[in-house]
């Protein structure tokens, strides 16, 4: 299937409705994904990116229906990761001498993945490739999100091919942002940012400012995953700027795991205390052992404060809590306050341990945390409600 975007650009990608896990099992894709590839026709013809390897044969077969492969003059590899470069071996068997334009790091990575000495042409920011009446302008986007990542911009049509940036893992029957459910689109876009891009937020801000400084008109942003931004494409750029700048909403998220429901009851009591003092604040609870990790991470990203709870086990914490805190540490969220809670039977180390881990995550502890002996009695529950009230005030 191909879809004509305008007189010169055709979408030749693949929608992957079945995908439920990405990056191994690191990223849940409840709504599938797509691998967007584009054919740009002028006096010369350029192919921008390909698709994930399992769809390589299908991709090349469909491309042959769209164009004689020998008419492709240039291949642009904006990013070497397999979901975009995976069809290159299949394609290059057919047109082995076609030059592949990519960054220096891109050439290294593509050689590392495929061990082929293809005709790489290394480009850097500001380099241009003439297609005839139009040009492709290359803009390196190092660490957004790999060292090789790159954007390219089609002059005259004013289209930015942004690769992973501004994308979403989101398969729909549509192609453009104005055609889809806006709440679904926002949720997939923020999940993508929170789970993949937050460690690079300072670079996101810098890159966007650099792009704005180029004063290039923007009619469309063609991502490599999910829908393309044609209706007010600047909106996602502005949203990225907000997400990159210590983002938070008026939300407090409680994440916990529980053995015999004591820590769960503490979480619910704390949440009710927060609501008493701060009814306008969104309060969300997740049993991490029963929740999708990436959805929880997304809610943590949106929060001004998080509370983390685990009972004590073997002088430590439940593995589900240890795992998600490790994930949060790596994502380097900024501008978050935090506190710990949990039940215990005898030694009771969990709250102190969680507090230490939250500090390592770069979060500001609002309190030493709260513990409850065995399953909390009415007094303990009342103390948790009071704790919630204090947290609501401290998180303001
Ligand atoms: Fe969609 Fe970094 O690959």
What pLDDT sits at residue 24? Answer: 86
Q: Which atom of ligand 1 is nearest to the CA of 82?
A: 3
Which of 16, 42, 49, 83 is an active site residue?
83
**Residue 339's pLDDT is what?**
98
Mean pLDDT of 20-39: 95
Tell how far the Cα of 237 is from the centroid of ligand 1, in angstroms: 18
Q: Yes or no: say if 354 and 321 are a contact pair by the CB < 8 Å rule.
A: yes
CA of 196 to the centre of ligand 1 (A): 10
Name the residue with the closest Cα to ligand 1, atom 2: 81
What pLDDT digit, counting tens, does each position of 170-196 carry?
A: 999 999 999 999 999 999 999 999 999
The whole-chain average pLDDT of the chain stands at 97
Residue 25 has pLDDT above 90, yes or no: no
163 lines ligand 1 (CB under 6 A): no
From 42, 90, 164, 257, active-site residue: 164
Q: Using only the alpha carbons of the chain, give its radius of gyration.
A: 24
Strand partners, 308: 255, 340
pTM to 2 decimal places? 0.95
pLDDT digits (tens, 9 = 90+) for 354-394: 999 999 999 999 999 999 999 999 999 999 999 999 999 99
CA-closest residue to ligand 1 atom 1: 164
Contact residues for 3 (Cβ-Cβ < 8 A; gap 6+): 10, 11, 175
Domains of the chain: 3-243 (3.60.15.10), 252-395 (3.40.50.360)
Q: Indicate if 164 belongs to the active site.
A: yes
Sign of CA dihedral 333, 339, 343, 349: positive
C-alpha to C-alpha distances, 107 to 61, 64, 78, 123, nearest whole angstrom: 25, 25, 10, 10
Any atom of ligand 1 within 6 Å of the Cβ of 83? yes
Measure 211 CA to ligand 1 centroid, in angstroms.
20
Q: Is the CB of 80 under 6 A from ligand 1?
A: no
pLDDT, one tens digit per residue, over 226-258 is 999 999 999 999 999 999 999 999 999 999 999
Rounded to whole angstroms, the Cα distance separating 72 from 99 reads 10
Residue 202: how many CB atoms within 10 A of its CB? 13
Atom of ligand 1 nearest to the CA of 167: 1
> Which atom of ligand 1 approaches the CA of 164 most closely?
1
Taking residues 53-73, report their average pLDDT.
98
Is 23 one of the annotated active-site residues of the chain?
A: yes
Report the C-alpha gap between 111 and 47 in whole angstroms: 19
Question: What is the arithmetic mean of pLDDT over 342-348?
Answer: 97
Centre of ligand 1 from the C-alpha of residue 210, in Å: 22
The helix or strand, by DSSP H or E, that contains position 14, with its residue range, turns out to be strand 14-16
Single out the catalytic residue among 225, 240, 256, 257: 225
């Amino acid at each position: 299937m191909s879809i004509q975007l305008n007189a010169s650009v055709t979408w030749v990608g693949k929608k992957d409705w079945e995908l439920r896990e990405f990056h191994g099992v690191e990223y849940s894709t409840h709504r599938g994904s797509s691998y967007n590839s584009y054919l740009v026709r002028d006096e010369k013809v350029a192919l921008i990116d390909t698709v994930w390897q399992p769809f390589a044969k299908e991709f090349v077969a469909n491309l042959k229906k769209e164009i004689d492969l020998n008419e492709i003059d240039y291949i642009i590899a904006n990013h070497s990761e397999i979901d975009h470069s995976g069809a290159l071996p299949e394609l290059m068997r057919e047109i082995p001498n076609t030059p592949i334009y990519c960054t220096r790091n891109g050439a290294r990575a593509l050689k590392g993945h495929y061990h082929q000495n293809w005709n790489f042409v290394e480009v850097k920011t500001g380099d241009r490739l003439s297609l005839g009446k139009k040009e492709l302008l290359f803009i390196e986007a190092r660490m957004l999100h790999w060292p090789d990542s790159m954007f390219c911009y089609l002059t005259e049509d004013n289209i930015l091919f942004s690769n992973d940036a501004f994308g979403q893992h989101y398969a729909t029957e549509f192609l453009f942002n104005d055609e889809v459910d806006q709440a679904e689109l926002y949720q997939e876009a923020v999940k993508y940012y929170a789970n993949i891009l937050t460690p690079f937020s300072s670079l996101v801000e810098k890159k966007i400012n650099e792009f704005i400084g180029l004063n290039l008109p923007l009619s469309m942003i063609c991502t490599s995953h999910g829908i393309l931004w044609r209706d007010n494409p600047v909106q996602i750029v502005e949203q990225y700027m907000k997400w990159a700048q210590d983002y938070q909403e008026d939300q407090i998220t409680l994440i916990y795991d529980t053995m015999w429901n004591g820590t769960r009851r503490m979480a619910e009591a704390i949440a009710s205390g927060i609501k008493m003092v701060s009814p306008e604040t969104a309060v969300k609870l997740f049993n991490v052992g029963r929740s999708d990790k990436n959805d929880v991470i997304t809610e943590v990203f949106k929060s001004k404060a998080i509370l983390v709870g685990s009972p004590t086990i073997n002088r430590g914490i439940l593995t589900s809590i240890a795992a998600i805190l490790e994930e949060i540490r790596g994502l380097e969220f900024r501008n978050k306050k935090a506190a710990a809670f949990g039940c215990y039977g005898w030694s009771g180390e969990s709250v102190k341990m969680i507090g230490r881990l939250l500090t390592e995550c770069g979060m500001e502890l609002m309190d030493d945390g709260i513990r409850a002996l065995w399953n909390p009695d009415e007094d303990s529950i009342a103390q948790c409600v009071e704790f919630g009230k204090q947290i609501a005030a401290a998180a303001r």
